[in-house]
């Protein structure tokens, strides 16, 4: 067989494989979803159940709400944004970056204080002043709504000035949790959803100590998959997604039926 004929056979095989892959992509639509770090655990369940119901595959990209917002403003090709607050979604809506009418509240977040070791004598927020607590992990408040709520709670409890020197900051609450998991923090402010099944002590923070963590979503105006994105947001707002979020430590947003 000549080199030319070998080349033709290889090219034909390549085209056949490309066609097969392309056909698979057509058969299974994909959505790219920007998701706040507090959703790291529940997103897998949401994605699996949504795909089983619709055949649409969801790919999640996690980060702090502020960082994801910046990526969207810079043209990142997301289809849906699941934020950890309302303000950043409203900002994107004002700038015309969301599909009109797609913005909605999908959950209310619950702030928790996680103490990985039961030997650490922390049972309420005031105990963070104890000398046994040397390091407290908090997500940067300028990047993460849960980090902002953590600082509000410390301030409202009247202990921020007394524990400020113990605080180490992370880019998002998932990273803050890792500080505790690795033994580099004695206490961690994070989302209840991320630690509700962890060992140690999980202390839900009184929501009177901080502003509500209202989490909103939106469909990107530039998304080429608006129909699929609308199906996903309906699943989260009104379908099985609501029960999944409730089972994962979130409070209902009041938007479902």
Two structure tokens written together for 162: 């007394």
Residuewise pLDDT in 10s, the chain (257 residues): 543 343 334 333 333 333 333 344 445 789 999 999 999 999 999 999 999 999 999 999 999 999 999 999 999 999 999 999 999 999 999 999 999 999 999 999 999 999 999 999 999 999 999 999 999 999 999 999 999 999 999 999 999 999 999 999 999 999 999 999 999 999 999 999 999 999 999 999 999 999 999 999 999 999 999 999 999 999 999 999 999 999 999 998 864 43
Closest CA to 55 of 20, 34, 77, 31: 31
pTM: 0.85
Q: Which CATH superfamily is domain 109-209 in?
A: Periplasmic binding protein-like II (3.40.190.10)
What span, in angstroms and rounded, lies between the C-alpha atoms of 221 and 145?
A: 24
Q: What is the pLDDT of residue 75?
A: 97
Q: Do domains 3-108+214-247 and 109-209 have the same CATH topology?
A: yes
Q: What is the pLDDT of residue 56?
A: 97
- Architecture of the domain made up of 3-108+214-247: 3-Layer(aba) Sandwich (3.40)
**Max alpha carbon distance in the chain (Å)?**
83
Q: Are 64 and 39 in contact (CB under 8 A)?
A: no
Domain-by-domain residue ranges, the chain? 3-108+214-247, 109-209
């Amino acid at each position: 067989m000549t080199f030319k004929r070998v080349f033709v056979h290889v090219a034909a095989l390549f085209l056949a494989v490309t066609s097969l892959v392309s056909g698979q992509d057509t058969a299974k639509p994909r959505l790219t979803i920007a998701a706040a770090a507090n959703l790291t655990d529940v997103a897998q369940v949401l994605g699996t159940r949504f795909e089983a119901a619709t055949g649409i595959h969801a790919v999640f990209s996690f980060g702090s709400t502020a960082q994801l917002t910046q990526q969207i403003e810079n043209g990142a090709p997301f289809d849906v944004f699941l934020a950890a607050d309302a303000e950043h979604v409203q900002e994107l809506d004002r700038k015309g970056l969301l599909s009109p009418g797609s913005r909605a509240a999908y959950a209310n977040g619950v702030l928790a204080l996680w103490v990985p070791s039961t030997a650490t004598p922390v049972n309420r927020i005031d105990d963070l002043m104890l000398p046994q607590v040397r390091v407290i992990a908090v997500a940067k408040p300028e990047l993460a709504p849960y980090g902002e709520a953590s600082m509000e709670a410390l301030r409202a409890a009247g202990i921020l000035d007394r524990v400020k020197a113990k605080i180490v900051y992370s880019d998002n609450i998932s990273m803050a949790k890792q500080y505790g998991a690795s033994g580099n923090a004695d206490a961690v402010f994070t989302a209840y959803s991320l630690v509700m099944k962890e060992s140690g002590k999980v202390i839900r923070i009184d929501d009177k100590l901080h502003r509500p963590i209202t989490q909103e979503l939106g469909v990107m105006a530039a998304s080429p998959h608006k129909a699929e994105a609308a199906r996903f947001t309906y699943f989260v707002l009104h379908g099985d997604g609501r029960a999944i979020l409730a089972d994962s430590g979130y409070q209902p947003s009041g938007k479902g039926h």
